[in-house]
Copies of this chain bind each other. A is one copy, B any other.
């Protein structure tokens, strides 16, 4: 284990493929993202539901002035992801845009040379993430302010929406690093089920029920601590629970019913095309030796 929590972030200049794909690094990124997700959910939960921001006709000005036919949030995502695309955010193997890539500008910076990490793939589940976020997460975390509350803080809530979505997207797509890492460690176990193909067997190979159970315990603890009311020093533990910023159950449910299953789907989707373009010779070698052949 690293000697400082900050060491969750590898140096982009010097990290090797082995460093990045080590289960220790992957685990540390995924665990650190739990904090970010809980923090940013709490930040969003201080504002009302503001349903108007999520429907395609909520702000007619966006259509009239910007020719934009989708929602307020989708407009914020497009604008913000356009800025980030210019500085090559989506060339990183763990960053995927919510906006249709054809609407995003080209980078103004020369490309970074990343080590070869992921196999060529076309996985992007951001549409599913956005839908679940708008339909389930937002109503859940804003319910205490009223079922259909609207406080007019549309910009503030959209900025927090983007933070949550970006962290969820990175968390879920990071599953491909798990798949790649496990595939490289034991290719002969995966190859037959990729060739069949058999989703269930692949899912079984990457699922560790004990790790998932530990995750939910750790997450509940983080939600408990970060979500308590800290505004009145001297308040005891019971009083701090009364004015929570977010419910522990809500955070755990988001992971249990959504983040974990969708990550698994991403992991399997990625594996299913993992042998596309790999020669029969290489496949045979990996099957015979159970060693990753590059």
Contacts and interface: CB of A to CB of B under 8 A. Distances in A.
A9 B9 CA distance: 34
Interface stretch (A194-202, A220-228, A251-259, A267-275): A220-228
Contact of A79 (B4, B8, B83, B155): B83
Contacts of A89: 155
A47 interface: yes
Given A11-B150, A221-B230, 10 more contacts: A4-B145, A5-B245, A6-B142, A9-B47, A10-B151, A13-B152, A66-B86, A83-B83, A88-B155, A112-B152
A222 B226 CA distance: 9
Interface of A: 3-13, 31-32, 35-36, 39, 42-43, 45-48, 59, 61-62, 65-66, 76, 79-80, 83-84, 86-89, 108-110, 112, 142, 144-145, 150-155, 159, 163, 214, 217-218, 221-222, 225-226, 228-231, 233, 243-245
Given A12-B151, A151-B9, A31 B231 contact: yes
A39 to B, nearest CB: 5
Closest 7 CB pairs of A and B: A12-B152, A79-B83, A65-B108, A5-B243, A11-B151, A39-B39, A218-B233
B76 A83 contact: yes
A83 B80 contact: yes
A5 B59 contact: no
Given A47-B9, A48-B9, A155 B61 contact: no
16 contacts: A5-B243, A5-B244, A6-B245, A8-B46, A9-B153, A10-B151, A11-B152, A12-B152, A31-B231, A61-B109, A79-B86, A84-B155, A89-B155, A214-B233, A218-B233, A222-B230
A35 B230 contact: yes
A66 to B, nearest CB: 6
Number of copies of this kind of chain in the complex:
2
A5 B242 CA distance: 9
Given A61-B109, A214-B233, A225-B230, A46 B155 contact: no
Nearest to A12: B152
A6 B80 contact: no
A210 B278 CA distance: 70
A4 B243 contact: yes
A8 B159 CA distance: 18
B46 A39 contact: no
A254 B109 CA distance: 34
A152 to B, nearest CB: 3
